[in-house]
Structure 1
Amino acid sequence: MTFRLGRSGVIELVGLVLFGLFLATIAPFGTAAAPGAFRHLYWQLAVIGGGLIAASIEPIFARRFTGNPLLFVLAQLAAMTPAIAVWVSLLPVFIFGEPVSTGRILQLLPDVLSINIAVLVLTWLARKALNPSKALRTAPEVFAPLAIRRKLPPRLARARLIAVEAEDHYLCIRTEAGSALVAMRLGDALDALSPLDGFRTHRSWWVARTAVQAVRWKGGRGTLALSDGSSAPVSRTYAAGLKDTDWAATVAQLDPSVSDHLQ
């Protein structure tokens, strides 16, 4: 499951515009009395502005709660709802000339929360439709992103990426041609790795999907056997999220003998 608002680009923006048109048409939350043009302007600014606020907040929680979708959604709603309520409370001031009211923010929180939930559900459905399960496609070769590749020797930079492991203030970049230590923060590496076909399995590990050969679960934790002969841990924090994705099916395809461990 992917979360970052805006990952589908123009399509999600069009979706927000259409949702704003829908809200302007049904005129919920006492907006029916507003003139048509002003009502449409109000809802477009409310929905698109709220989407931009959500887009700025989402990457923070997406990285922090990788592998735990429920906590991610709850944290995102808790952070974005008050911020969007402030934004929406200011729209009547600019559009209708109403006086500034701090009490309006509290009154808007339930309404904003309900719309935020609807937008998140619609966004998730759109992404599922636009990005079908990777388990149904041939997994592409995974190479290190430019931010990491330029720190590697040419031989490793051209090789398929296997995993990234944090070691103190360095990262161990594992490739099919060997490994190397580079000076880089794990958070920066995870940002660069986010478009790639892989998963964070531990607070110190990121693993390419195609590098996983087998898996062993025990006590809520896991161990991944990687194609270079090394092993990567799966902590409790990330285990549940990994099992809920198409990762388990992909591993079973790579090594059918491990499918029993994934049930």
Structure 2
Amino acid sequence: MTAKIKQLAHNLLSRVSLLIWMLFTVAATIMGPFNTSAVLGLGQRGIYWGVMVALALSVSAVVAELVALVVPDRRRWAFDILRIIGMVLVFSPMVLLWTNFMLGDVAEYSPDLGMIALFVALVGTVTRVMRRILRDEQATFLHEEQGALALPGDAEDVPGAGADLASPENADQPRLMRRLPDGVTGPVLRLSAKDHFVEVVLPDETHSLRMRFADAIDEMDGVEGYCAHRSHWVARDAIDAVERDGARIYLRLVNRDVIPVSRTYKPRLEEAGIL
């Protein structure tokens, strides 16, 4: 739990998250939705929207982790739908309370809970759809740039599918990469087992594959890596630092993920000079 909280904190304090917070805060402060432009001064609007956007990013990150417990594959539409529903149910009341607090004596200008919920749902839907479009466009661009050959639609579910179609520039990549969508490139930072799925974590994206954890590790041939826990395998090049919390040891990766080290796998990591 401590490692997961640390990971969320690292993600929220990353440069990308801070940039998103700044841009949305400035835009909302200038436009003044929810009648804030008519009731609050510029400085008050800055405070109002600064807190609002920070709260939205934090709640969204927590909701995403909770939804992932139900839908491990974050590529599925079910994940996005549940995440939007979660934001509407959790974030909308927070918006209403914060708005009434900031507007004070003129709280009658505050939108009702239904209007806020509709706004949160619309923003969440547009955000998730745009994210999918941009991700697909990026994958298409990389696919065209690399001149890779497309695999059949279900190829990622077939072990070893596409082995004969791999492009020369991907020949030195681990076999596991052939299971990922077209255009996805490495490096793989870590593998994590969740129920019957394996999370394949890359620098900017995560994919879930339905397969055995041991088989996924076996298909990372050619990449030096180690099991830090019975549910986590990490590539050596992805390890950025070793963190200690009392007797507990964690590996912090270059993408700020924090992976626990169990006693079972500690000796192997010590032999490799990592600990």
For normalisation by structure 1, the TM-score amounts to 0.47
For normalisation by structure 2, the TM-score amounts to 0.46
